[in-house]
């Protein structure tokens, strides 16, 4: 990898470049970028986290986060966008982690689309973060190139900064977790379509589509079916107190149901 510089951003000109980068990533005009330079300027000036990643002097990624509840212990990472495939996202998250720890922050939260496999793998496996809450249509309908008019379901995900400093990972070439006997598929990928199954076991697998962003363009009906299947299965399990404990074989959430109290 070429030289990567990570630093906080404050000036309006460099934040204009961040807004332009985000507009390119999300496939929209800069006037409709996911966050404006003016808002990032205000966040940075108020002491929040706004940082950029530069590769040989060229902006290739950025992130903005603000303090959240509980006050003094939590940071909410609102947006991160990077060029893909060169470790820039991981470098930014680790930079954000160190920034938060230096200020006594113990937890970073963010939301992501639960249908995007690469994001689920990055968040759960590379970082060791865990989804905590399913948020239905959190931002309403979004018509940028990534969301493609789909409803903006998100999962609120938490990263425990008191855990070991090294990001969680699996051995090179190994993506499958050891699953207990009796694990069932709450949602199975059956030839590209979601097949909803039982959720009456202690461990439930929830498959994801191969590429939901492409599916939104080529088969909106199938994309909608995936949205509803995962919404009702994962959303209901999380609402009932189940926990996502991992991501199996780069394609399936591993969910453990809460133990039923014995009276």
pLDDT at 170 over 80: no
Strand order in the sheet with 193-196: 193-196, 184-190, 203-207, 252-256, 243-248
Give residue-wise pLDDT tens across range 12-60. 999 999 999 999 999 889 999 999 999 999 999 999 999 999 999 999 9
The stretch 132-157 carries a mean pLDDT of 82
Can you give the pLDDT at residue 145? 53
Q: How far apart are the first and last CA of the chain?
A: 58
pLDDT at 262 over 70: no
Can you give the pLDDT at residue 10? 97
Q: Is 207 helix (H, G, I), strand (E, B) or coil?
A: strand
Can you give the pLDDT at residue 143? 64
pLDDT at 174 over 60: no
What sections of 27-74 are H helices per DSSP? 37-45
Model confidence band, residue 236 (pLDDT cutoffs 50, 70, 90): very high
Can you give the pLDDT at residue 172? 44
What sections of 127-219 are H helices per DSSP? 212-218
Residue 98 CA, distance from chain mean position: 19
pLDDT at 185 over 70: yes
d(C-alpha 193, C-alpha 68), whole Å: 38
Can you give the pLDDT at residue 52? 98
Domain positions in the chain are 4-160, 184-256
What is the per-residue DSSP string for 93-130? Answer: HHHHHHHHHTTT--EEEEEE-TT-HHHHHIIIIIS--E
Contact 185, 194 (CB under 8 A): no
Reported as type and span, the H/E element at residue 78 is: strand 74-82
Q: Is 162 helix (H, G, I), strand (E, B) or coil?
A: coil
pLDDT at 146 over 80: no
Give residue-wise pLDDT tens across range 91-112. 999 999 999 999 999 999 999 9
Environment class of 36 (CB within 10 Å of its CB; exposed 0-12, middle 13-18, buried 19+): middle
Contact 232, 224 (CB under 8 A): no
Model confidence band, residue 150 (pLDDT cutoffs 50, 70, 90): confident
pLDDT at 147 over 60: no
pLDDT at 169 over 50: no
d(C-alpha 257, C-alpha 43), whole Å: 39
Give residue-wise pLDDT tens across range 198-233. 999 999 999 999 999 999 999 999 999 999 999 999
Residue 257 CA, distance from chain mean position: 22
Nearest Cα residue to 145 out of 224, 227, 82, 217? 217
**Topology (CATH level 3) of domain 4-160:** Aminopeptidase (3.40.630)
Can you give the pLDDT at residue 83? 84
Rounded percentage of the chain residues whose pLDDT exceeds 70 = 90
Beta bridge partners, 170, equal: none
């Amino acid at each position: 990898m070429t030289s990567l510089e990570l630093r906080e951003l404050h000036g309006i000109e460099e934040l204009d470049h961040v807004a332009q980068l985000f507009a390119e990533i999300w496939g929209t005009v800069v006037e409709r970028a996911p966050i404006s330079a003016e808002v990032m300027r205000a966040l940075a000036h108020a002491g929040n986290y706004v940082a950029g990643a530069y590769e040989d002097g060229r902006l290739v990624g950025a992130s903005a986060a603000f303090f959240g509840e509980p006050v003094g212990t939590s940071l909410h990472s609102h947006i991160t966008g990077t060029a893909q495939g060169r470790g820039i996202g991981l470098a930014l998250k680790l930079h954000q982690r160190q920034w938060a720890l230096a200020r006594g922050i113990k937890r970073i939260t963010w939301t992501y689309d639960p249908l995007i496999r690469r994001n689920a793998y990055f968040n759960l496996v590379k970082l060791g973060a865990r989804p905590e809450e399913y948020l239905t249509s959190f931002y309403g309908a979004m018509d940028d190139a990534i969301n493609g008019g789909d409803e903006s379901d998100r999962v609120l995900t938490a990263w425990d900064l008191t855990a070991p400093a090294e990001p969680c990972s699996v051995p090179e070439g190994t993506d499958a977790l050891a699953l207990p006997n009796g694990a069932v598929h709450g949602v199975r990928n059956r030839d590209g379509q979601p097949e909803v199954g039982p959720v009456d076991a202690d461990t439930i697998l929830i498959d994801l589509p191969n590429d939901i962003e492409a599916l939104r363009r080529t088969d909106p009906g199938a994309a909608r079916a995936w949205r509803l299947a995962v919404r009702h299965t994962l959303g209901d399990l999380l609402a009932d107190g189940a926990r996502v404990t991992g991501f199996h074989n780069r394609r399936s959430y591993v969910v453990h149901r809460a133990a039923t109290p014995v009276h």
